[in-house]
Amino acid sequence: MSGDDARSVREIEEGVQRDFSAAMSYGDYLGLEQLLSAQHPRSEPAQHDELLFIIQHQTSELWLKLMLHELRSARALLTTDELAPALKRLARVKRIQEVLTDQWSVLATLTPSEYAEIRPFLATSSGFQSWQYRAVEFLLGNKNADMVKVFDHDEEARTLLAGLLVEPSLYDEFLRYLARRGYAVPAELLDRDFTQPYRENDELVDTFASVYAQPSEHWGVYETCEELVDLEDNFQQWRFRHLQVVTRTIGHKKGTGGSSGVDFLRRALDLTFFPELYSVRARV
């Protein structure tokens, strides 16, 4: 073998594990046999692009699972006044959001003609029915009891959403944290009906205005406010990218789940999780 040929071959090092008959492998740890066999295209005859559609949504659900894990942890940390690790969790959530938003560019390679070949096989299934997405929205404060009823057919999902519906959101716990630290948080925000969507409070805008007037004096709170704005900004970018992909793929057709499609998605752009953190900008 020539010198050039030798350099082109990377020999397996002597100590590298090779026998997995009695040892755990990479595939064992990750459950790859189950994971990689979870794609079940339904098109007849088989359509090449259906695998893309399935994997796109399955991977999104995996990232949503991690996002829920991180958001629930951040919320729990706020209850015990552990702000720094809570912010670390939110930093990770933001990176997850970036991945989810970037993923739309893969689905955008599906042309209207290609999607039309697989759409009939989706039947009434729709991303609207993602209970993990609803759980993320509930954790961030966009509560809607009617959404829980959509999952009457899935006891586990319904129970989880029903629990999140009555629990404080991440923002609710942040406001409780502020109150414990001596910030002026209106009492009605601390003891409200958590099943209802959060509504803006003018007095709280005043409190945040004092924080933004002297960031160095309130750095931890100031940083948290900006992290939350980042999180919402990322969420809106995800929503908008979703809207764009649906528009280029099906135009103004109805969604498979029965929604108005593009118009329904566009209305979601008007929703906000942390209204005071946007209103305060007019005061700076």
> Which parts are annotated binding residues for heme?
242
CA distance between the termini of the chain = 71
Instruction: Give the Å distances, CA to CA, from 72 to 60, 208, 263.
Output: 18, 24, 31
Angle at 168 between CA 167 and CA 169, to 5 degrees: 115
Query: DSSP code of 9?
Result: -
Which run of H or E residues covers position 107? helix 83-107
Question: Residue 109 in contact with residue 176, Cβ under 8 Å?
Answer: no
Q: Which of 65, 71, 59, 58 is nearest to 132 (CA)?
A: 65
Q: What is the distance between the alpha carbons of residues 257 and 68, in angstroms, rounded to a whole number?
A: 24
Q: Which residues are annotated as a binding site for substrate?
A: 53-57, 115, 119, 256
Residue located via tokens 């910030």: 183
CB-based contact 264:242 (threshold 8 Å): no
Length of the chain in terms of residues written: 284
- Binding-site annotation, residues: 53-57, 115, 119, 242, 256
